[in-house]
Chain A
Amino acid sequence: EPEVTQTPSHQVTQMGQEVILRCVPISNHLYFYWYRQILGQKVEFLVSFYNNEISEKSEIFDDQFSVERPDGSNFTLKIRSTKLEDSAMYFCARGDPRSGNTIYFGEGSWLTVV
């Protein structure tokens, strides 16, 4: 059973369209993250989110991106106006960095921008 469930598993969108990727943790947690992986490349950090606020974001996470946890359960990543280079696998993750436990990754949402 996955620690984190992501939807959609695959989305194809037109360039310039808005996309929302969703993440649902199996149980209540405070630390969430979004990462992306362009095909064949390494995994890149986008943003960390603690207690309903962004705690750190990368250079990739520009004004086109936003995250929120609107209902205390779902955790979303919004890309306002998609570009071709946003095509990638987006992973949601959760885990307390202060603990000795791992960071768990979701199954991923594959975004294709055409």
Chain B
Amino acid sequence: ELKVEQNPLFLSMQEGKNYTIYCNYSTTSDRLYWYRQDPGKSLESLFVLLSNGAVKQEGRLMASLDTKARLSTLHITAAVHDLSATYFCAVPGSGNTGKLIFGQGTTLQVKP
């Protein structure tokens, strides 16, 4: 059974600092999704990583995928308050039905 684990689950950081969120998964997958969720809101797509070594960047966020290590990272550069949210990674289940297995989420709090 596919398991997806994120760490840390909670992250409080100062504005301007850098940090990395880790997403490990237990079975082979060649793609991984990152989403952002604000409290009470929907899941906003951030990145889709489609192959080993894939790296994508959008603003202060950069995501990478290492399929051999079954690890994805979401790196935050020079954090700002607007980045405060919960970040989820998700990995497709087997069978190609589109099912996604989500990590527990990492709640990021950026303090001024």
Contact = CB atoms under 8 A, between A and B. Distances in A.
A96 interface: yes
B48 A48 contact: no
Contacts of B102: 42-45
Contact of A100 (B44, B48, B103): B48
Interface string B77-112: 000000000001010110111111111110000000
Interface of B: 33, 35, 40-45, 48, 50, 88, 90, 92-93, 95-105
A25 interface: no
Judged by DSSP, the binding face of A is loop
Choose among A41, A43, A95, A101 the residue with the greatest number of B CB atoms under 10 Å from its CB.
A43
Contacts of A105: 35, 42-45
Contacts of B97: 48, 50, 55-56, 97
Given A43-B90, A43-B100, A103-B100, 9 more contacts: A42-B104, A48-B97, A50-B98, A55-B97, A56-B95, A58-B99, A102-B45, A102-B48, A108-B42
A51 to B, nearest CB: 12
A107 B42 contact: yes
